[in-house]
Amino acid sequence: MRNFLRLLWMALLLITVALVSALLTMRIALHAREVKVPDLHARTPAEARRLAEQDGLTAQVDRQYYSAAVPEGRIISQTPAAGSIVRRGWNLRFAVSLGPQRVTIPHVVGQSQRAAGITLQQRGLDIAVSEVDVPGATAGQVLAQDPPANATDVAAPKVNLLVASDAAPNAYVMPSFLGRPLGSVALAIKSAGFTLGKVTTADQAASTTSPTAVAAPGQTPQPTPVPPASAPATPNASSPAAIIVGQQPLPGQRILAGAEIRFLVR
């Protein structure tokens, strides 16, 4: 029994030593893969890439800015900051100086987006476009710009344009009118800007074949007897007291403003 306990103790001791050794090895390996980020400030992009490669890192230009303090072609800022600890293979990003601002920002408000883009690109300026729906504005017309025309002390060679967008037609989800009186429904859809189409009775529809499906809530759509728009309505079909038993478009379908809605009544 004593020998067994001794062997068990020795086995536990060996396992503990192995675990500690493994943890130390992993810690050393991780630290061996970590490097300090070099200082790239005021260096050229080529010098920055060379320094980064020496430490197993990569580097690339992220942005460009005007600067009266940093000469053109030299690095203004970097990410991560110099002295940071990162793993090998990390990608360093840096911003390069364009020197003092020498480009005059043109006035493009009121022009079309295409014309404004050509003008700005000819001056070496980048463009960012945002669209907004403005009633009465011409689609594609530049409504505002930033920086404004002839601005000085511009930070970046980039002009933001606010452009009028095309007004998209209003779309709605078709509600269910099943089981409601035709009179109140007709008033509701007309006041909402829709068109009341042909109204047909169930008796007339029984003799007309149409592939359109109409379903009450919770039921599987079946071939509906709503006739084509050209089919004549019966004299009693437009009675305000008639109950709606079918409709086209179907409940849940998307429809545009002013769309025609047809009903099957009984």
pLDDT in tens, 10-64: 888 888 888 877 777 666 655 558 999 999 999 999 999 999 999 999 999 999 9
Which pLDDT belongs to residue 170? 74
Q: Among 27, 90, 103, 28, which residue's Cα sits nearest to residue 64? A: 103
Check if the beta carbon of residue 103 is closer than 8 Å to that of residue 122. Answer: no
Record the pTM. Answer: 0.49
Whether 109 has a pLDDT exceeding 90, the answer reads yes
Average pLDDT over residues 123-137: 90
Which pLDDT belongs to residue 29? 57
85-94, 132-141, 183-192, 204-213 — most confident range: 85-94
Q: Do domains 37-100 and 113-164 have the same CATH topology?
A: yes
Ordered by start, the domain boundaries in the chain are 37-100, 113-164, 171-265
Can you say whether residue 217 is alpha, beta or left, with left for phi > 0 and alpha for psi between -120 and 50 degrees? Answer: beta
Whether 203 has a pLDDT exceeding 50, the answer reads yes
Q: Which amino acid is at 7?
A: L
Tokens of 84: 């940071």
Higher-confidence residue of 67 and 3: namely 67
Whether 148 has a pLDDT exceeding 90, the answer reads yes
33 phi, psi to nearest 5 deg = -90, -5
Q: Among 113, 109, 100, which residue's Cα sits nearest to residue 157? A: 100
Report, at the CATH architecture level, how domain 113-164 is classified.
2-Layer Sandwich (3.30)
In this prediction, residue 238 has a pLDDT band, given cuts at 50, 70 and 90, of: low
Name beta bridge partners: 162.
Answer: 130, 144
How far from 16 is each of 4, 7, 24, 26, CA to CA, in Å?
A: 18, 14, 12, 15
In this prediction, residue 168 has a pLDDT band, given cuts at 50, 70 and 90, of: low
Whether 217 has a pLDDT exceeding 50, the answer reads no
Check if the beta carbon of residue 143 is closer than 8 Å to that of residue 164. Answer: yes
Q: Indicate the average pLDDT of the chain.
A: 84
In this prediction, residue 219 has a pLDDT band, given cuts at 50, 70 and 90, of: very low
- Tell me the fold of 37-100: Trypsin Inhibitor V; Chain A (3.30.10)
CATH of 171-265, one of 2.60.40.420, 2.60.40.10, 1.10.3720.10, 3.30.10.20: 3.30.10.20
4-8, 222-226, 229-233, 234-238 — most confident range: 4-8
